[in-house]
Amino acid sequence: MRGNKRAAAVVAIAFGLGAADAARAETFNIAPGRLGEVAAAIGARAGITVAVTDPELAGRLSPGVRGTFSVRAALERALRGTGAEAVFYDRVTVRIIRARAKPRPVRQKPAVIPLPMPDPPAVPDEIVVTASKQNILLENYPGSAKIIDFEPAWLSRNGARGTAALTETLPTLSSTNLGRGRNKLYVRGISDSSFNGPTQATVGQYLGDARLNYNAPDPDLNLYDLKRVEVLAGPQGTLYGAGSLGGVVRLVPNAPDSAEAYATASTGVSATRFGGIGGDAAAMLNLPLAKGRMALRLVVYGTREPGYIDDPSRNLRDINDSLSFGQRLMFRMEDLAGWTIDAGMVVQNIKTDDGQYVLRGDPPLERSNALAQPFRNDYRLAYVTARRPVFGGTELVSTTSFVLHDLKTVFDATGSDGTTSPRRFEEKNNIALLSNETRLWGGGRRTPWVAGMAGIYSVSRLSRLLGSPDDPSQIAGVRNRQVEFSLFGQASHPIASSLIATGGGRLTVSDGAGTLLDAVGGGEEESSRARVRFAGSAALDWHLSPSLSAFLHYQQGFRPGGFAVASGSVVESQEFEADDLSQIELGIRWRDKARDRLSIRAAIFGVDWNHVQADLVDDSGLPATANIGSGRVYGLDGEITWRALPAWTLTVAAFLNYSNLIGTASAAANADAITLPNVPRDGVRVGSQWRFELARDVTLTGEASAHYVGQSHLGATPPLDVMQGQYLVSAIGARIDFARFGISLDISNIGDARANTFAFGNPFGLGRQNQVTPLRPRTIRLGLDARF
């Protein structure tokens, strides 16, 4: 077990179920083990937060604790012989630190009464960027990383909104607005197109170490009972391979806890102006199966988002209702011949009754169509992660995951044949993705390193129907197969006392093949030649002073090519080429927002993107895919955090982007002056959070925000150069916590702003340039959450 010293819990934190009294007696049955794990078990049992941020300290052997004690007494017993002590910052927050030397006793005069010593100042937990795969501290990560540690109360109010809750919190993370389960994510200015097709996503998405998508839209998972989200900006080709041109979004779930059984639940009811009534519900059950060895964690949830668009031609109201429901199941087995095994599954279904767009010139929030345009997203994920310490403080981690992702989209194609007869277009995309990554990491804080190998096997089958609503005919589709194998590594090493260099690379061999699916069911498979790709990275992290540091980071990324139906054809396919991207970034960090009243993060970057792949729509309204040219992106983003009072924090985050597309097809007019699609030129978010203790075990928390989204365009070339964005939306929410339950009230789009968030809803009407995707009108949610 020696290897567990560093590779085990660098940070061991137990998130409690409510405010607990440190003097209240609890029954503990925690076996001897590593201090980090014992501390986490004590925190989970007592319903408090216990943190061990020193990896060497976390690896020391604790005698455990058995019996009925107060939290303080239990910690005293668990810390015996470890050379550590517990510091209580309040009734629910404890930090384990190295025992401090005791001062020599000083003889006091009888008449002198010694003054009580003040408690030591609270030292915040050190934040580790686990998405770096080297467990680098955030203050040493040589790049732009945003980490949000979720509070259970925040998730009970916002988890049902999925990715939308993240994009409203992080200005540099954006998405299209087609609806739940059919959007594309973008980080910074790395956006290829507005449409879904056979190209890989520009943002890699993960649940823990399991890959969520490949050439599919955002699965838009419910966030309930997640621990944190990590967003790495810029191409991540070295660590994550193909499909991470813009960056990586990594959701980290709470792990099963084998110390104690407990549960949480939340429910809410919402009302949208001009729309209907919605609701959401979620519950989590943590169930130990063998104390200290085995546990199960189950999350179930369901959400109904009310519609707000009416169709007078069919005498229907609120046609764009959306329903989602699903579950996450995770099983953990610890110390199985030195291994820790996590096995899990995700099942989620999203159904939308109709598109959420309107037409310019029609009455507000109304649209008339000959037929409904529903959408379905059925998502299945199964994964296994095995890890164990090996030698010299290193750890072996291997994750295998399998995804089945089925998408079905219907569009009203009336008029596409030059007549007024109703026509229906239906597209089905069935995707299977098998992936594995096996890696070793180690080296400690000063010299972290990682090395590993990864493989991906992806098959997608895109089939299409077009014709009368009752009996549409099959038209050309395409089947794509992609195989990738990679070797990668990255390491950091100090080259001076305050300067750390990082370098790495990834060598990938990929092979693809495509088959045209025509009316009789298939065609001859076309294979692309095997390609070898290398993506490198290099960085310098310079700590100029204890409060000021800077980094310079160069990264590369790429996507393999593939096959698509040729534009304007129902009988031919065409190959689109691989694209590649490189970015150089210079950033600064001044002070720590967790420690200091004022802190600043800022970065300036430049991107060179060659042979940009894009999913498009041809003149007839049918989907097509092509390389559209080369892109250049230059930008600046930053964040300022000011803790004006202990109970009140203000955050301002903003970005500026300049992009253009060059070398486009000759048919594109003024191509040199056109920006890349769907990324605003600027944006800013101002957020305020507060927390007040109203009485014993009664806490008021809340936040308010205002988010401005600048101008962008639907596409890079006419007729898709439709302007969108330029709107301001605000929200406010508050929650009263009564230890074991909470009541919340949230209002989004307070001013009921009207704007075009995304100028697309139906590809067969894009040529008229009159489609508008409005903001959801003002919505009020009343929620209740509880912990058991």
Nearest to 598 by CA among 550, 643, 639: 643
Query: What pLDDT is attached to residue 58?
Result: 76
Query: Are residues 408 and 430 in contact, defined by beta-carbon separation less than 8 angstroms?
Result: no
Residues 4-98, CATH architecture: 3-Layer(bab) Sandwich (3.55)
Q: How far apart are CA 191 and CA 202, in angstroms?
A: 7
Amino acid code (one letter) for 627: N
Domain 128-249 classification at class level: mainly beta
Q: Which residues contact 409 (CB under 8 A, 6 or more apart)?
A: 182, 373, 375, 426, 427, 428
Query: Among residues 187, 185, 166, which one has the least CA distance to residue 236?
Result: 187
Look at 56 and 284; give whichever has higher pLDDT: 284
Enumerate the CATH 3.55.50.30 domain ranges in the chain, comma separated: 4-98
Under DSSP, is residue 509 helix (H, G, I), strand (E, B) or coil? strand
Highest mean pLDDT among 192-201, 324-333, 566-575: 324-333
The Cα diameter of the chain in Å comes to 104
How is residue 54 written in tokens? 């020193």
Res. 2: pLDDT tops 70: no
User: In angstroms, what CA-CA distances link 694 with 633, 697, 737, 783?
Assistant: 49, 8, 10, 20
Q: What is the DSSP letter of 367?
A: -
Residues 6+ positions from 264 with CB-CB distance below 8 Å: 17, 152, 156, 225, 283, 284, 785, 786, 787, 788
For residue 751, pLDDT over 60 is answered with yes
pLDDT of residue 37 exceeding 90, the answer is no
Q: Where in the chain is the domain with CATH 2.170.130.10?
A: 128-249
**Structure tokens given for 423:** 């026509």
pTM of the model: 0.83
Q: How far apart are CA 719 and CA 703, in angstroms?
A: 41
Confidence band for 125, pLDDT divided at 50, 70 and 90: low
pLDDT, average across residues 661-685: 73
The residue with tokens 């101008």 is 711
Domain with CATH 2.40.170.20 in the chain: 250-787
Local structure of 240: helix, strand or coil = helix
- Would you tell me the crossing angle of helices 71-78 and 35-46 to the nearest 10 degrees? 170
The CATH number of the domain covering residues in 250-787: 2.40.170.20
Interval 260-280: pLDDT, tens: 899 999 999 999 999 999 999
- Tokens read off for 583: 């970015």
Question: DSSP per residue over 528-594, as a string?
Answer: PPPEEEEEEEEEEEEEEETTEEEEEEEEEEEE--EEEEPTT-SS-EEEE--EEEEEEEEEEEES-TT
Could you please report the per-residue DSSP string of 35-95? HHHHHHHHHHHHTSEEEE--HHHHTSEE--EEEEEEHHHHHHHHTTTTTEEEEEEETTEEE
Listed in order, strand segments (DSSP E) in 646-788 are: 648-662, 682-695, 698-713, 723-737, 741-748, 771-772, 779-787
Query: What is the pLDDT at residue 105?
Result: 46
d(CA 338, CA 391): 12
As a whole number, mean pLDDT of residues 737-743 equals 92
Amino acid identity for residue 397 in this structure: V
Tokens in use for 152?
């259970």
Q: How would you classify the pairing of strands 573-576 and 723-737?
A: unpaired
HSE-CB of 196 using CA atoms within 13 angstroms: 30
Closest CA to 270 of 690, 755, 777: 777
At 437-491, the pLDDT tens digits run 999 999 887 899 999 999 999 999 989 999 999 999 988 888 889 999 999 999 9
Percent of the chain with pLDDT over 70: 89
Residue with tokens 């607990």: 20
Round to the nearest angstrom and report the end-to-end CA distance of the chain. 35
